[in-house]
Amino acid sequence: MSQTFQCGENTALVGYVYDECEASERAAIDAHVAICAACAAELAALQSTRTSLVSWTPPESNLGFQIVRQPQPVFEHRTEPPKRQTSESRPWYGRPVPAWAQAVAATLIFAAGLSLGVVRGIMPTAATPGTVPAAASQSAPSATDLQALERRLRAEIARIQPTSAGVRAEAPVASTSEEQLLARVRTLIEESERRQQRELALRTAQVMRDVDSQRQVDLAQIQNSFGQIEGLTGAEVREQRQMLNYLIRASEQR
């Protein structure tokens, strides 16, 4: 810790305000503040800002957490009876699936879908004889392939969700044309673009806010620096004036 105080040493002022500086440094700051208006004002402002902070209190909240002993320790609220069920006490099908298992499952499903697409692209299917040339089906999945895939997926979804099966069965699956598919793809792309634009706007606003905040801090520092320079200059002028007066008095005595 420094024994002397340099004018404009704001971090030292912070130590002074929070009473975390050595006695010698405190004395040096006291002596300086007595002659430097800028530092005195800065010190007073810091202290009064601290005083205002006292008024900010968090809202009362009903906490009362506690750990309760179960097959596996769980957090409970003290005023409520235990409600949570640990994963160990549930049947296997009710337990949460770990993230790694979900990732593996997703990869397997994706790989299966991919291989299905490759096989379909190489081999002409029985569902589309004569409608698509063999050469075209080898290069890329055609609209008919996509329709067949969609039909199969719809059938599977209808089987999985029996409650909505009736509604889905009424959907005109066969009439889904290429235009409709394109329209759906376009809609998805538009939604994605809108989402990206929203995110971009949010990020931009965040960056602008950060820049503005930093700018304010920089401006404050510049302002303080000017004040300190003024204070220093004033002090020097006073000292020189005193020295001059002393010299004049000394020369007059001779």
Partner 1 sequence: MNWTDEDLVTRSRGGDLESFNQLILRWERPIYALAYRVIGREEDARDVCQETFLRAFRALPGFKGQAKFSSWVYRIALNLCRDWMRRQRRTPTVQMPEGADPEELAAEGGPAESIEDLVSRRELSAVVAEAMALLPEEQRTAIVLKEYHGMTFQEIADLQGCPLSTVKTRLYQGLSVLRRHLEKTGRTPQLVKRV
Told to check if 80 binds partner 1 by CB under 8 A, we report: no
Helix (H) or strand (E) holding 136: helix 134-139
- Residue 76: beta bridge partners? 66
Q: Select from 69-77, 92-100, 125-133, 177-185 the region that touches partner 1 (CB under 8 A).
A: 69-77
- Residue 66: beta bridge partners? 76
Query: Tokens 């208006």 sit at which residue?
Result: 37
**How many angstroms separate the CA atoms of 144 and 94, rounded?**
40
Told to check if 177 binds partner 1 by CB under 8 A, we report: no
Q: Select from 24-32, 97-105, 116-124, 208-216 the region that touches partner 1 (CB under 8 A).
A: 208-216
# residues near partner 1 by CB under 8 A? 41
Q: How far is the CB of 194 from partner 1 (least distance, A)?
A: 19
Told to check if 220 binds partner 1 by CB under 8 A, we report: yes
**Which are the contacts of 17, defined by CB distance < 8 A and separation ≥ 6?**
43, 46, 47, 50
Q: How far is the CB of 76 from partner 1 (least distance, A)?
A: 10
Q: Which two tokens stand for residue 113?
A: 């879908």
Q: How far is the CB of 30 from partner 1 (least distance, A)?
A: 19
What three-state secondary structure class fits 229? helix
Told to check if 75 binds partner 1 by CB under 8 A, we report: yes
